[in-house]
Structure 1
Amino acid sequence: MAHRNNNSQTNNNNDVAKDPPENSEATEEENSKKKEQEELPPFEVVEGSRIPASSFMFQFKNVEYSSGRNKTLLCYTIERGEGQVFRGYLEDEHVSAHAEDAFFSNVLPQFLSSGAVSVTCYVSSSPCVNCAACIARCLRKNKTINLRLVVARIFQWEESEIRSALRGICSSGCKLRMMKSADYLHVWKNFVEPDVVLNEEGESEQTSEQGAFIPWEDLEENARYYEEKLAEIIR
């Protein structure tokens, strides 16, 4: 499965600082890289209304061993009682922030001031332990949220902590299920935009990924596989 790095940059106060060896270019380079990592923004998530088609096809593909798919894309629909509908998507920009945390901590609370809301999130993979805890807290605090979480892949489902976290969000009221062909088609129609490609004259032209959604060969087979795994976890 794709590994989403949940580690944040922290300083260990018990570590004793040591002077680097004299004339050590390798050590200076390591220190420079470390400083650059520490200066990365602690929280930065890309937000928009439409996902590039190629990004959707890669990140949402429901393969079992998802090499290279190390970011999370989350498409959301928020429906208010008065008939208002809001859509958008988030994606991880740095490993210290996850799209689910951003949505349930920063985005969704803006829509909770006027009664009950129905929320549907289509996510490229199921939440990590920390994001699952964030979702559960949000649902416990706001009893007026009706949440459906529809995921393409299950993140590290072999880990006992992950399995427990998924059971936790279900017990908090989240309706969790796997994406099927109809869900992919829905997301394609409502959240995906054509990739911008320029020809030699600098004019935009269509690519093969701009038309109707074309499912990959084993989409439904993989969906059934994940459905069985999810049923094992939350039963």
Structure 2
Amino acid sequence: MAEKQSTSQPPQTPQNPPQTEDTPEVGEEEVEKKEQEELPPFEIVEGSRIPASSFKFQFKNVEYSSGRNKTLLCYTVERAGGQVYSGYLEDEHAFSHAEEAFFTTVLPQFLSAGPVTVTCYVSSSPCVSCAASIAKCLKRSKALQLRLVLARIFQWEEPEIRGALRGLRSAGCALRMMRSTDFAHLWKNFVEPDAPVDGEEGVVEGEGGQVGGEFGVFIPWEDLEENSRYYEEKLAEILR
């Protein structure tokens, strides 16, 4: 499928005016309210590639996801006739989530044309609200087969999160954790390398040194396999 351009421009975060003696101080609550009113709910990007540095940070399957305050969702939609569509969505701020955007805005256009098989690779598992929305979509759409492949589990210690994941499984969603082959698949099909190193075209810098190729080669981080097994154990415990 030919690549499509972004359907919208990234929202610009409003800048606060410089404080002077003549400028009244604006309270934090008023600033938050103003930003919430001005920012659109999400940005949808289809057919584009994720910057390599963003992918390596947001999809890294660490136990504690400090600083990773957005969700990236890569999807493939397969129709019965063999047509395959793909793209990715990204949270631009904290007031809505990529999962909700996909299941309410992107997926419905495919469901009207018969059975579809959807695979979503998500940097973090859905929150309670998004999990409930996905479960409702599955119950409404009998022609939908869904698999969520997760890099991390969001707040897995919380009973509400654990219950939400069990609810997804009960609604018919297949859940599993990402493995090294999944990260490599995303790197090949969804990632745009960062700027070339030392002016060498087609060469990108990976963790552990330079790597070559049109889009580079995925270099696993040190604890990828260990962290993947850790999360697999946690998911199995939750779904037991």
- Partners in 2 of 1:233 and 1:177 — Cα distance? 12
Structure 1 residue 207 displacement after superposition: 3.0
Runs of 4+ displaced beyond 6 Å:
none
CA contact (8 A) 2:60 2:151 kept: yes
Higher RCO structure (Cα 8 Å, ≥6 apart) = 1
Of 212, 218, 225, the residue aligned with 1:220 is 225
Q: Encode CA deviations 1:143-168: one digit per residue, 9 max, x unaligned.
A: 11111100000000011100000000
Q: CA 1:168–1:207 in 2, change beyond 3 Å: closer, same or farther? A: same
CA contact (8 A) 1:45 1:97 kept: no
- Partners in 1 of 2:38 and 2:23 — Cα distance? 25
1:44 equivalent in alignment to 2:42: yes
- Partners in 2 of 1:125 and 1:215 — Cα distance? 18
Aligned residue type for 2:105? N
Count residues with an aligned counterpart: 210
Gaps of 5+ in 1: 1-22
Q: CA 1:80–1:205 in 2, change beyond 3 Å: closer, same or farther? A: closer
1:234 equivalent in alignment to 2:239: yes
Q: CA 1:108–1:217 in 2, change beyond 3 Å: closer, same or farther? A: same
1:134-213 aligned at under 5 Å gives the runs: 134-196=133-195, 206-209=203-206, 211-213=216-218
- Partners in 2 of 1:35 and 1:193 — Cα distance? 35
- Partners in 1 of 2:73 and 2:239 — Cα distance? 22
Structure 1 residue 102 displacement after superposition: 0.3
For the aligned residue pairs, the C-alpha RMSD in angstroms reads 2.2
Structure 1 residue 24 displacement after superposition: 10
Could you tell me the percent identity over the aligned residues?
Answer: 65
